[in-house]
Amino acid sequence: MKVVLFYGGRGLIEDPMLFMLKQTEKVLRELEVDVERINLFEFKGTINTLPQIINGSDGIILATTVEWLGIGGYMQTFLDACWYYGDKNEIAKVYMLPMIISTSYGEREAELQLIKAWDLIGGIPSPGLVGYVKNAAEFETSKVTLEIIEKSIEKFYRTLLQKPLQLPSSAHLIKDMINGTGGIDFSPQETEQLSKLVNNDEFVKKQKEDIEELSSFFKLKMNSDEKKIDTIEYIIGKLRSSFKGQLGFEAAFKISISDKSKNLILQISKGGFNCFIGEMEEVDVIISLTSDVLSKIVDGRMSFQRGFMTGEISVKGNFKTLYSLDQVFKFK
């Protein structure tokens, strides 16, 4: 069973939805579900390619935070992409759980918007996990919060297992009517330009190649990231190419990659740095993380500080020294 989580927030540390997602992933993995999380803000320029990730999944979770009004731009853009570019035959098999947290007002309206959108696109919506958060610290430390999340995700899991039959929806009829109206209207100038491009064999061939390349990119993304982590030369190469140094900064780090049972030692001195796989008794900081988190860091998709603040990195030693790593290495 596969579930894809699409996070439509801005990725801010204080966003309580990040805590919700972390607990959701934990519960699903305990149920032996294949979980993939997509942060929409990391794909600002390529959101239109993301609907293909839905293909082959049993369910998706659309998670977003209402900060002032509605579901936010990233989630709206993603839903637009599902409408225009998604495989409707695949989407018709997929159950959707809306997960909404409001820090202002309007969580129920946002839930209804996601349910109506997914129904109109042709998928199968489920009742959402919705709430208002006034104090993030109290919310994240509440046993009641954890219990509600666990029960809601287990209920969604049972829905995916049972795949209950549903009566036809009038929204699907509306969808067919809209799809049959002829699509986007172009001006005479735009129509002429598109006609020239369509009749250009080289242009059409190039577009098909680009689409195939994008399709394969996201299918192989997780496997590709895993291969990078398994290649020590790749990690050390990224560290060397990203090392900028900092005047007067000296420290030794042990990075423990929990799911690989390997330790990466970093020795930073005035003259440069040394990096190797092994053991070292005296270090300033011990960092524990997974290979997936390390992949995000060396690829520039997450900082050490952010990983610690979100709980994806645990640290022993001088915390200020940990923060200096984000200045010493400039990953891209």
271 and 302 part of one domain: yes
* Domains of the chain: total: 3
204 and 268 part of one domain: no
Q: Does the pLDDT at position 119 exceed 90?
A: yes
Let me know if residue 19 belongs to a domain: yes
0.85 surpassed by pTM: no
Which two tokens mark 139?
A: 């919310």
209 and 155 part of one domain: no
Q: CA 157, CA 176: separation in Å to the nearest integer?
A: 30
32 and 60 part of one domain: yes
Task: Give just the sign of the alpha carbon dihedral 96, 100, 105, 108.
Answer: positive
Q: Provide the 3-class DSSP secondary structure of residue 265.
A: strand
Q: Provide the 3-class DSSP secondary structure of residue 135.
A: coil
Tens-digit pLDDT profile for residues 85-117: 889 899 999 999 999 999 999 999 999 999 999
Let me know if residue 286 belongs to a domain: yes
If one compares 310 and 157, the residue with the highest pLDDT of the two is 157
Let me know if residue 171 belongs to a domain: no
Tens-digit pLDDT profile for residues 14-62: 999 999 999 999 999 999 999 999 999 999 888 988 999 999 999 999 9
What DSSP line would sit under 228-239, residue for residue?
HHH-HHHHHHHH
Let me know if residue 172 belongs to a domain: no
Rounded to 10°, the helix 221-230/232-242 angle is 90
38 and 152 part of one domain: yes
14 and 47 part of one domain: yes
Q: Provide the 3-class DSSP secondary structure of residue 132.
A: strand
Let me know if residue 225 belongs to a domain: no
Tens-digit pLDDT profile for residues 255-299: 988 887 888 888 888 767 888 888 888 888 899 988 888 888 888
Average pLDDT over residues 142-169: 92
Rounded to the nearest 5 degrees, what angle is found at the Cα of 22, between the Cα atoms of 300 and 226? 45
Let me know if residue 322 belongs to a domain: yes
Let me know if residue 183 belongs to a domain: no
Out of 76-80, 81-85, 117-121, 296-300, least confident range: 296-300
Instruction: Return the bridge partners of 251, or none.
Output: 268
Tens-digit pLDDT profile for residues 172-212: 666 666 654 444 454 545 545 554 554 556 665 666 677 77
**Which CATH number do you get for residue 55?**
3.40.50.360
91 and 158 part of one domain: yes
**Which CATH number do you get for residue 269?**
3.30.1050.10
96 and 135 part of one domain: yes
- pLDDT at site 21: 97
264 and 202 part of one domain: no
18 and 149 part of one domain: yes
Q: Provide the 3-class DSSP secondary structure of residue 21.
A: helix
Per DSSP bridges, beta strands 129-132 and 95-102 are: parallel
Q: CA 46, CA 208: separation in Å to the nearest integer?
A: 16
Let me know if residue 273 belongs to a domain: yes
44 and 148 part of one domain: yes
Boundaries of domain holding 31: 2-162
276 and 158 part of one domain: no
